[in-house]
Amino acid sequence: MPDDVIFYVTRYGYLAIFILVFLQEVGLPNPFPNELLLIFSGYLTFTKILFLPGVILTVLCADFIAANILYFMFYKTGTFILQRKPKWIPVSAKMIDRLSTKISKGGNVNIFIFRVTPFTRGYTSVISGLIHIKPKTFLPIAVFSGITWAAFWVIAGHLIGPSWKLFEQETGSIKTIMLIFLATAICLVALNYFLRKRTNKRNNSQS
């Protein structure tokens, strides 16, 4: 992670974390993944510079606000935005088509899975708005998935604390972890799809 980011997060704490998480989750590109920022923030809770629940709450608030901006933006004016979308909005036609199909077929479970998975988080909020998932459905999922995502990475950083110097030398490991997350998410989505398909087939045969 860049030295200037480490400086600002260490100096300004929760405010810096909130701004950095929010900017990336709303679609503005950063040179490092938010998961790495969360791990570093978790490390700062180990050193007692920051308070663990405070970091998780800060991340949750930034993530929830950003997710809602994307969700409601595309819920209300999705077609118009796609035709004139700014380059910073994390949307590509292929990703939209792919995730729209999976979310539509997999229901709420898939929304949660994609919301806690690196690389698909921002897309999930956009697509949930585009395909008009109801706010009463999306908002609770956004909260619970945000808590799960924030808690996992921040607590991971806290636990890594005693071995932080070694972890800094192996920063490539974060990419491996994120890829494992992505592969796991794909497997869970596939499992959810087959279970739902099997259940529907059983219900149809009984009716």
pLDDT tens-digit profile of 35-64? 888 988 999 999 999 999 999 999 999 999
CA–CA gap between residue 184 and residue 39 (Å, rounded): 20
Taking residues 117-131, what's their average pLDDT?
Answer: 81
State the average pLDDT over residues 67-75: 89
- Per-residue confidence at 102, pLDDT binned at 50, 70, 90? low
Report pLDDT for 21: 93
DSSP string, the chain: --HHHHHHHHHHTHHHHHHHHHHHHTT---SS-HHHHHHHHHHHHHTTSS-HHHHHHHHHHHHHHHHHHHHHHHHHHHHHHHHS--TTS---HHHHHHHHHHHHHHTHHHHHHHHTSTTTHHHHHHHHHHTT--HHHHHHHHHHHHHHHHHHHHHHHHHHGGGHHHHHHTTHHHHHHHHHHHHHHHHHHHHHHHHHHHHHHHHHHH-
C-alpha–C-alpha distance, residues 174 and 140, integer Å: 28
Q: How confident is residue 150, by pLDDT bands cut at 50, 70 and 90? A: very high
- Specify the pLDDT at position 3: 75
Query: Percent of the chain beyond pLDDT 70?
Result: 64
- Mean pLDDT to the nearest integer, 159-181: 66
What confidence score (pLDDT) does residue 157 get? 87
Instruction: Report percent pLDDT > 90 for the chain.
Output: 27
State yes or no: pLDDT of 105 exceeds 70. Answer: no
For 182-207, write each residue's pLDDT tens digit: 555 556 555 555 555 666 566 666 55
